[in-house]
Amino acid sequence: MTKRVQWLVFLGALLAFVAIYMFTQNQIERYANRPLPVREVPQIRPEVSVITVMPGTYQSQVSAYGATQPHYHITLAAQVAGQVEQLSPRFETGFRLKKGDEMLRLENSDYRAAVAAAKQQLAEAKLVYLEEERQGLQAQVEWAASGLDGDPDSDLVLRVPQLASAAASVTNAEALLASAEKDLQQSIIRSPFDALVITRDVSPGSYLQTGTQVASLYSTDWVEVKVSLSDREWQSLPEAESLVTGEWPVDLHAVEGDASWQGKVLRVEQHLDGTTRQRSLIVGVDKPLDQQPAIYPGIFVEVSLGGRQMDNLWQVPLTSLSQRGEIWHVTAERNLAKFATSPVFSDEHFIYIEPPSSLIDDPQQILLQPISSYVEGMAVAPIEAVDYE
């Protein structure tokens, strides 16, 4: 092989080596500068229990608590003095009395004597009056027979003042007799209304002064409950004129036990309580001791009554309202959002709220049981709850 050919072979090999080197370097640089692959981490969406709500029309319900009280509660006192001579067998605690039933009788001989004396005084006064009346007629006849013209110079001539005095004496005697008879009647103490005996404060032989306490009585015509309502609760009720017709249904439930009763609205107070700054509704139950079971004064009850029909409200489970008074819901992007609210009214299982205007047109998913760790904008996986009542 000639030297020229050797040089050509050497140059060819050198060029091939350079080409291979350049190619290798290019590949190394491309590999080094390639974009690193990004590993996609799936977004974690915790599951939350939701229910779907829509605006509806519901009858408002108002509930409040109070203690039953008798219509009348009286501490009965003696109107006259005297010694207790007799007690009625029914004048004992726990017994019921009819209006006018005798409770006790005082020794009343002095009062009977006073009535007799007053009758005698009245009879004497009437006798004097009749005599004066007759003498007055006789004086008029004598004046007419005298032939004198006109009236006498003094009314004494015709005995006019004497007759007026006799008439006043009759009136005074009648008043004294009425007072004596009243004292005699009050020596027998009677029940002023249909009543339940709460305390008996006298015994046979007790001497009573005027004003001495005799008994404590509760009326039995009805019991009533005074319940204070907020402005929002009053707004969910009809006008007072409609409430007091006696036809508005009211339910009363004993706080202790399962007893319940039907009542009615008796009246609506037209002033604010100085302590609660709220207006009160008075509810009553007729013939409380004849109810089954009986409703006694002093029972603590829950009072429930229906109100007006209200539109565009959400019916929401009690558990959906957070401790901060907020409702959490899921947006169309499946993120959490919340808004503050206050119930319009509530019942045993639900609260009823006014939704924000931005959510009122479409069904919304609200959380059944929000927890304090939730934050707005948090991605979630809503799961529709069933049997949540």
- 25 within domain boundaries: no
Same domain, 160 and 300: no
Confidence of residue 59 (pLDDT cuts 50, 70, 90): confident
Confidence of residue 201 (pLDDT cuts 50, 70, 90): very high
CATH of the domain at 206: 2.40.50
Same domain, 291 and 242: yes
**64/318 Cα distance (integer angstroms):** 17
**197/101 Cα distance (integer angstroms):** 12
- 80 within domain boundaries: yes
**Domain boundary pick from 170, 186, 202:** 186
Q: What is the 3-state secondary structure (H, E, C) of the chain?
A: CCHHHHHHHHHHHHHHHHHHHHHHHHHHHHHHCCCCCCCCCCCCCCEEEEEEECCEEEEEEEEEEEEEEECCEEEEECCCCEEEEEECCCCCCCCEECCCCEEEEECCHHHHHHHHHHHHHHHHHHHHHHHHHHHHHHHHHHHHHCCCCCCCCCCCCCCHHHHHHHHHHHHHHHHHHHHHHHHHHHCEEECCCCEEEEEECCCCCCEECCCCEEEEEEECCEEEEEEEECHHHHHCCCCHHHHCCCCCCEEEEECCCCCEEEEEEEEEEEEECCCCCCEEEEEEEECHHHCCCCCCCCCEEEEEEEEEEEEEEEEEEHHHECCCCEEEEECCCCEEEEEECCCCEECCCEEEECCCHHHCCCCEEEECCCCCCCCCCCECEEEECCCCC
**Are the C-beta atoms of 352 and 313 separated by less than 8 Å?**
yes
The C-alpha angle with vertex 145 and arms to 143 and 148, in degrees rounded to 5, equals 60
The C-alpha angle with vertex 284 and arms to 280 and 287, in degrees rounded to 5, equals 165
**225/252 Cα distance (integer angstroms):** 9
Ramachandran class of 123: left when φ > 0, alpha when ψ lies in -120 to 50, beta otherwise: alpha
Taking CA atoms, 134 is separated from 142, 157, 158, 169, in Å, by 12, 14, 11, 16
Q: How many CB atoms lie within 10 A of CB 262?
A: 11
Confidence of residue 192 (pLDDT cuts 50, 70, 90): very high
Same domain, 84 and 210: yes
Q: What is the mean pLDDT of the chain?
A: 87
The pLDDT, as a whole number, for residue 293 is 93
Same domain, 292 and 358: no
**Domain boundary pick from 141, 168, 186:** 186
Put simply, whether the predicted model's pTM sits higher than 0.85 gets the answer no
**Are the C-beta atoms of 322 and 328 separated by less than 8 Å?**
yes
The pLDDT, as a whole number, for residue 40 is 58
Same domain, 92 and 228: no
- 36 within domain boundaries: no
- 34 within domain boundaries: no
Same domain, 294 and 234: yes
- 29 within domain boundaries: no
- 23 within domain boundaries: no
Structure tokens that stand for 124 in this block: 């004497």
**pLDDT greater at residue 237 or residue 282:** 282
Same domain, 216 and 76: yes
165 by Cβ neighbours in 10 Å (0-12 / 13-18 / 19+) ranks as middle
The pLDDT, as a whole number, for residue 66 is 93
Confidence of residue 1 (pLDDT cuts 50, 70, 90): low
**Count of structural domains, the chain:** 4
Same domain, 258 and 358: no
**85/65 Cα distance (integer angstroms):** 46
Same domain, 266 and 338: no
Same domain, 230 and 301: yes
Same domain, 66 and 76: no
Return the amino acid letter for 8: L
The pLDDT, as a whole number, for residue 204 is 93
Q: Which of 215, 227, 219, 277 is nearest to 251 (CA)?
A: 227
CATH of the domain at 229: 2.40.30.170
13 pLDDT more than 90: no
Q: How many CB atoms lie within 10 A of CB 167?
A: 16
At 88-136, the pLDDT tens digits run: 999 999 999 999 999 999 999 999 999 999 999 999 999 999 988 888 7
Domain with 119, as residue range(s), is 109-186
- 41 within domain boundaries: no
Same domain, 242 and 296: yes
- 7 within domain boundaries: no
